[in-house]
Structure 1
Amino acid sequence: MTPSAARSSPLALTVLALLHYKPLHPYGVQRLIKDWGKEQVVNVSQRASLYRTIERLNAAGLIAVRETGRDQQYPERTVYEITDAGRETTRAWLEEMLSAPKQEFPEFPAALSNLLLLTPRDMADVLDQRADALAKKLDALEAAMAAEAEQGLPRITRLETEYLRAVTAAELEWVRAVVEDLRAGALSWSKEKLDALGAGPAQQ
């Protein structure tokens, strides 16, 4: 596999970015992701996915084994370092991810596209639950931003939290507005009209 064949992902980019600072073993990568709050934007809940990503980056020549060590407390650990090709690829991936919006397929829009299976009342109830969850998430993000500011961290280190806070606030406002329309009857439908739509154009 050549470096150009490596597939980008948020986790792969983060691994390469962390190895810019110093060589690390996989556990060290996972610990830094959590210590630096990057688990908000990178999924490391499954350690196996991290190991697979590291193996893929190594096979692509973007990282290399620096050393393998063992001590009494831990099993054998392989320490990786970034290669010159890895540095070039990190820059290319970063610029592409920042500049070009990607067509992604998250669960929520997919569920919205099938909401006609619910009644307006049921739809309002489930979206009310989502609004409650979003409000809690927003409170947590604002608390995290306040804590980061108190630590004196520069804004550049807090941009992902700032972005998540803005996106969460916008979604919460929209969900609450939809629920309000549902409760007021401004957003409604009938089974008969939906059945007619599903049947397609009337036969001539």
Structure 2
Amino acid sequence: MTFRRSPLALAILGLLENGPLHPYGLQRLIRQWGKDQVVNVGQRTSLYRMIVRLEEGGLITAVATERDERYPERTVYHLTDDGRAICRQWLGEIMTTPRNEYPEFPAALSFVMLVPPEAAGELLAERREKLTKRIAELQLELRTEVEGKPVPRFALLETEYQVAVTVAEAKWIDGILHDLRNGKLTWTPGPV
């Protein structure tokens, strides 16, 4: 069976590398380790649906069912050899091959001519303010400690990447705002 990779599927397989877990444990670790900043966990149903698909694909398997009076019954999953191999394959493909991921912001920029340049400047200035706050939040995350010890750098590489990308976007917006203010960038608003 060919399994279409996704960030959530990669996260589940990657977390199961550390040993068997139940879905609630997976969700808790995704959030606890800050992986929810780069993996859209969404609602718990998304996680459960992905677990079912991974199990049907033979990448994970149920190994036990835990019963505890305080919690509902929980199925514990573990990574299969195929799951381990696919996880490594996806990791290699994703890390080596840039791909257009269709983010919303560039899509909005492609229709900026629908609003006057002044309005575009105001919108971009507002985004720039939010980026400044986001950069501060990410930099704070980089200084996270667990039990009084800094989190190892390898566990924060995705946060470092987010800082770099967010700083680059902010710098780019600064240039666009400069060009809008001095008239180097202008247009007449209207339909495309």
Answer whether TM exceeds 0.5 for this pair: yes
1:173 counterpart residue number: 171
1:202 counterpart residue number: none
> Runs of 4+ in structure 1 displaced over 6 angstroms?
none
Q: Which amino acid aligns with 1:28?
A: G
Q: Is the 8 A contact 1:24 1:81 kept in 2?
A: yes
Q: Is the 8 A contact 2:135 2:167 kept in 1?
A: yes
2:143 counterpart residue number: 146
The correspondence of residues 32-111 of structure 1 with structure 2, limited to 5 A, is 32-111=29-108
**Normalising to structure 1: TM-score of the pair?**
0.89
Structure 1, unmatched stretches of 5+, are 199-204
C-alpha separation in 2, matches of 1:76 and 1:146: 37
- How many corresponding residue pairs? 191
Which whole-Å deviations, capped at 9, do the CAs of 1:136-185 have from their partners, x for residues lacking one? Answer: 00001111112359733332112111100000000011112111211221
C-alpha separation in 2, matches of 1:67 and 1:189: 63
1:183 counterpart residue number: 181
Q: Which amino acid aligns with 2:52?
A: E
1:125 counterpart residue number: 122
C-alpha separation in 2, matches of 1:189 and 1:85: 54
Q: Is the 8 A contact 2:62 2:77 kept in 1?
A: yes
Aligned-partner SS, 2:63: strand
Q: Percent same amino acid among aligned pairs?
A: 49
Q: CA RMSD in A?
A: 1.6
Q: Is the 8 A contact 1:148 1:158 kept in 2?
A: no
C-alpha separation in 1, matches of 2:162 and 2:42: 19
Q: Which amino acid aligns with 1:90?
A: C
2:17 counterpart residue number: 20
Q: Deviation at 1:70? A: 2.0
Q: Which is helix-richer, 1 or 2?
A: 1
Aligned-partner SS, 1:67: strand
C-alpha separation in 1, matches of 2:58 and 2:86: 10
C-alpha separation in 2, matches of 1:87 and 1:12: 12
**Normalising to structure 2: TM-score of the pair?**
0.94
Which whole-Å deviations, capped at 9, do the CAs of 1:17-72 have from their partners, x for residues lacking one? Answer: 00010101100000001111111111113111111111110000000001112221
Q: Is the 8 A contact 1:11 1:43 kept in 2?
A: yes
Aligned-partner SS, 1:70: strand
Alignment partner for residue 160 of structure 1, among 158, 161, 174?
A: 158
> Which structure has the larger Rg over C-alpha atoms?
1
Q: Which is strand-richer, 1 or 2?
A: 2
Q: Is the 8 A contact 1:141 1:161 kept in 2?
A: yes
Structure 2, unmatched stretches of 5+, are none
Identify the range of structure 1 (149-158 vs 55-64) with the bigger mean alpha-carbon deviation: 149-158
